[in-house]
Amino acid sequence: MTARAMPDDGGSGACPAPLTERQEERRRRILRAGAELAARGGFDGVQMREVAELSGVALGTLYRYFPSKVHLLVATMRDRLERVHESLRGRPLRGETAAERVAETLIRAFHAFRGEPRLADAVVRALTFADRSVSAEVERVSSRTAAIVLDAVGPGGPGAEGPPAVARVPGSGPGAGSGPGPGAGCGSAVRVIGHAWHAVLVAWVSGRASVAEVEADIVTVSRLIDT
């Protein structure tokens, strides 16, 4: 996947230019710094000036990559999901049905975030606060979540060979319905499952759901994939 700079297009949706190798390395430093601060102090612990200092970039440069803390933390959510996706692909699933494999996968993904509770709180709050200006990055988070679900649905699940999928589920965002993807019925189920997974993550970080309740809810919503 080729990273792209954050557009400064006033929400017009113009396609930004791909990052150079040096720019991508700088972006990775910024993401690492943001994640480190979030892991220490949650959402409130991430201050853009501290991110700039920790990553070794000028504050103005930081804002060219990420116009706000919300932009930065939503990108961090996407980065973490990409890492989770890669780790899941190396662990074969035991489930016999698609629903069982999806539930197993999403429970594993939940526990990956559960292992960093302050970071999880920070990125979930950022998604909650995200407005239209962050829509492109939010769409990438949704697409990565859908790809995780779709890998679990397919033969062998995330342990299957081949490059990780980056899915566009019909109706999930700008340009929906174009390009490769599941049929309309499966796409709707994948989209709802993804929404539900993010919702239970919100419920858990806010203290409104226990781990057992989160797991039970994931199992329940995953059954949609078999209908």
pLDDT tens digits, residue range 144-170? Answer: 999 999 999 986 444 444 444 444 444
Tens digit of pLDDT for each residue in 15-70?
A: 567 888 899 999 999 999 999 999 999 999 999 999 999 999 999 999 999 999 99
Structure confidence at residue 155 (pLDDT): 60
Tens digit of pLDDT for each residue in 129-144?
A: 999 999 999 999 999 9
Count other Cβ atoms within 10 Å, centred on residue 18: 11
Structure confidence at residue 227 (pLDDT): 76
Tens digit of pLDDT for each residue in 68-114?
A: 999 999 999 999 999 999 999 888 888 899 999 999 999 999 999 99
Asked if 145 and 194 count as a contact pair (C-beta separation under 8 A), the reply is: yes
Structure confidence at residue 12 (pLDDT): 39
CA distances, 19 to each of 16, 133, 145, 206 (Å): 9, 20, 24, 36
Structure confidence at residue 18 (pLDDT): 85
Q: Which residue has the higher pLDDT, 24 or 177?
A: 24
Structure confidence at residue 158 (pLDDT): 45
Structure confidence at residue 173 (pLDDT): 42
What one-letter code names the amino acid at 121?
Answer: D
Structure confidence at residue 19 (pLDDT): 80
Q: Does residue 16 sit in helix, strand or coil? A: coil
Residues 211-220: what's their mean pLDDT? 98
Structure confidence at residue 185 (pLDDT): 56
Distance CA 55, CA 211 (A): 34
Count other Cβ atoms within 10 Å, centred on residue 106: 28
**DSSP secondary structure letter of residue 5:** P
Distance CA 225, CA 112 (A): 23
Structure confidence at residue 89 (pLDDT): 87
For tokens 């919300």, what's the residue?
70
Confidence of residue 192 (pLDDT cuts 50, 70, 90): very high
